[in-house]
């Protein structure tokens, strides 16, 4: 059987797959062009993709023998799941191996933003440190503050665990209430997202991108937040209405934002977000720690092996495809 791996970075995963299948590895470091993806979904039984490779209806129209799309990501919004399911193609993802790395990164963003670490370090490296003046760089403490976490999946839980260590009050809003976690992590449930937005000093988004979560945060929600509050987004760019965020940051209606995800990615160099001093943007790297990157690759390979051998996959998004 033929397997296509859409990046050259995943040697341990490729080794695992090579022992069983005829594996082709894409040599470029970016998403293969649509014509290549079309060819591969037509000729291969499995493809291993990154979370940003668009496997849409048009690409899937060429799928003939494809049995699994294995995403090396927890998010699968890059794949048309409905179309894949109709075509009886399984979709795999990689939860359970990246939440701690994403949570570490989220804490990094929160501290860089609230304590002005990024802005002040950039000032020094730009050779603009001309006088000793702490006053211009006064930040906000994290301890004793209130963080509002939207979503309460594995990444959100790992963030909450870390915030407990920082002695923050932790509010959360999610579809389902988690009573056990409320006890063990001292979480406080908000059954109304508006209450969380109004009360939090930091709002951190940990949701998948779906039709329901697209533009969940826009002008109305940003205007409910405190003027001193920060927004953190490591989920997906489209969960926030980016134009509304630009306006809120320009008007200082919130104090700042740190985002690891944008629409599109990469963000165009002339985008208005890039001219804002109260914004940190990183290039979609929250999960990108060495061992996590490798473990995600191995899990994606294991999803392929299970799907092609007809055994239960470590993580399947659409088991009903069978
Ligand atoms: C994920 O796992 O979904 C990360 O965002 C990488 O795409």
Pocket test for ligand 1, best of 53, 101, 262, 287 (most atoms within 8 A of CB): 287
233 shares a domain with 168: yes
The reply to whether 72 belongs to the active site is no
162 shares a domain with 16: no
300 shares a domain with 202: no
The confidence score (pLDDT) of residue 99 equals 98
| CA 208 / ligand 1 centre spacing (Å) | 10
210 burial class (0-12, 13-18, 19+ CB within 10 angstroms)? exposed
Residue whose CA is closest, atom 1 of ligand 1?
73
Residue whose CA is closest, atom 3 of ligand 1?
75
**What is the average per-residue pLDDT within 175-200?**
97
Strand order in the sheet with 279-281: 187-189, 169-173, 146-150, 202-205, 230-233, 256-259, 279-281
Print the domain residue range for 60.
Answer: 2-97+290-321
pLDDT tens-digit series, residues 24-69: 999 999 999 999 999 999 999 999 999 999 999 999 999 999 999 9
Query: What atom of ligand 1 comes closest to residue 234's alpha carbon?
Result: 5
93 shares a domain with 149: no
The angle that helices 99-114 and 117-125 make with each other, rounded to 10 degrees, is 70
Query: What atom of ligand 1 comes closest to residue 50's alpha carbon?
Result: 7
Query: What atom of ligand 1 comes closest to residue 235's alpha carbon?
Result: 5
The confidence score (pLDDT) of residue 193 equals 98
111-to-116, 118, 227, 232, 252 alpha-carbon distances in Å: 8, 9, 18, 11, 19
183 shares a domain with 92: no
Q: List the beta strands (DSSP E) in 169-260.
A: 169-173, 187-189, 202-205, 230-233, 256-259
121 shares a domain with 268: yes
Pocket test for ligand 1, best of 73, 109, 236 (most atoms within 8 A of CB): 73
Q: What share of the chain is helix, strand, coil (3-state, %, to 5)?
A: 40, 15, 45
**From 236, 271, 294, 302, active-site residue:** 236
202 shares a domain with 72: no
Cβ < 6 Å from ligand 1: which residues?
Answer: 51, 73-75, 98, 287
Distance from C-alpha of 77 to C-alpha of 213, rounded to nearest angstrom:
11
Residue written as token pair 């991108």: 209
**From 265, 271, 294, 320, active-site residue:** 265
45 shares a domain with 159: no
pLDDT band per the 50, 70, 90 thresholds, residue 266: very high
186 shares a domain with 91: no
266 shares a domain with 121: yes
Closest CA to 3 of 27, 18, 19, 23: 23
* CATH number of the domain bearing residue 131: 3.40.50.720
pLDDT tens-digit series, residues 129-181: 999 999 999 999 999 999 999 999 999 999 999 999 999 999 999 999 999 99
| CA 61 / ligand 1 centre spacing (Å) | 25
Domain-ending residue, one of 264, 281, 298: 281
Pocket test for ligand 1, best of 51, 156, 158 (most atoms within 8 A of CB): 51
Residue whose CA is closest, atom 7 of ligand 1?
51
Distance from C-alpha of 168 to C-alpha of 172, rounded to nearest angstrom:
13
Query: What atom of ligand 1 comes closest to residue 94's alpha carbon?
Result: 2
**What is the average per-residue pLDDT within 95-102?**
98
The confidence score (pLDDT) of residue 53 equals 97
Q: How many domains does the chain have?
A: 2
User: For the chain, what percent of residues have pLDDT higher than 70?
Assistant: 100
Residue whose CA is closest, atom 2 of ligand 1?
73
**From 284, 294, 302, 320, active-site residue:** 284
226 shares a domain with 119: yes
139 shares a domain with 83: no
The confidence score (pLDDT) of residue 21 equals 98
Residue whose CA is closest, atom 4 of ligand 1?
73
The reply to whether 265 belongs to the active site is yes
State the average pLDDT for the chain.
Answer: 97
Q: Give me the residues paired with residue 219 across strands.
A: none
């Amino acid at each position: 059987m033929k397997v296509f791996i859409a990046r050259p970075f995943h040697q341990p995963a490729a080794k695992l797959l090579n022992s069983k299948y005829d594996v082709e590895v894409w040599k470029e470091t970016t998403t293969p062009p649509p014509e290549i993806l079309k060819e591969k979904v037509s000729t291969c039984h499995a493809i291993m993709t990154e979370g940003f490779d668009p496997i849409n209806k048009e690409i899937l129209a060429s799928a003939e023998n494809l049995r699994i799309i294995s995403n090396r990501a927890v998010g699968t919004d890059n794949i048309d799941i409905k179309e894949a399911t109709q075509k009886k193609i399984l979709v795999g993802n990689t939860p359970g191996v990246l939440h701690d790395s994403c949570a570490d990164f989220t804490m990094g963003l929160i501290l860089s933003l609230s304590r002005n670490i990024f802005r002040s370090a950039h000032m020094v490296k730009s050779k603009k440190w001309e006088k000793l003046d702490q006053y211009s760089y006064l930040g906000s403490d994290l301890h004793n503050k209130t963080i509002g976490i939207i979503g309460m999946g594995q990444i959100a839980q790992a963030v909450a665990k870390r915030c407990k260590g920082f002695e923050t009050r932790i509010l959360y809003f999610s579809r389902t209430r988690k009573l056990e976690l409320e006890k063990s992590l001292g979480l406080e449930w908000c059954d109304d997202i508006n209450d969380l937005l109004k009360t939090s000093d930091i709002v951190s988004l940990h949701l998948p991108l779906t039709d329901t979560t697209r533009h969940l945060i826009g002008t109305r929600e940003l205007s409910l937040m405190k003027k001193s509050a920060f927004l953190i987004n490591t989920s997906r760019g489209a969960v926030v209405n980016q134009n509304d965020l630009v306006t809120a940051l320009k008007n200082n209606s919130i104090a700042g934002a740190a985002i690891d995800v944008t629409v599109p990615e990469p963000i165009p160099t002339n985008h208005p977000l890039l001219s804002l001093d109260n914004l940190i943007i990183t290039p979609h790297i929250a999960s990108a720690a060495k061992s996590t990157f490798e473990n995600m690759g191995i899990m994606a390979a294991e999803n392929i092996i299970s799907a092609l051998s007809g055994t239960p996959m470590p993580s399947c998004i659409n088991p009903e495809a069978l």
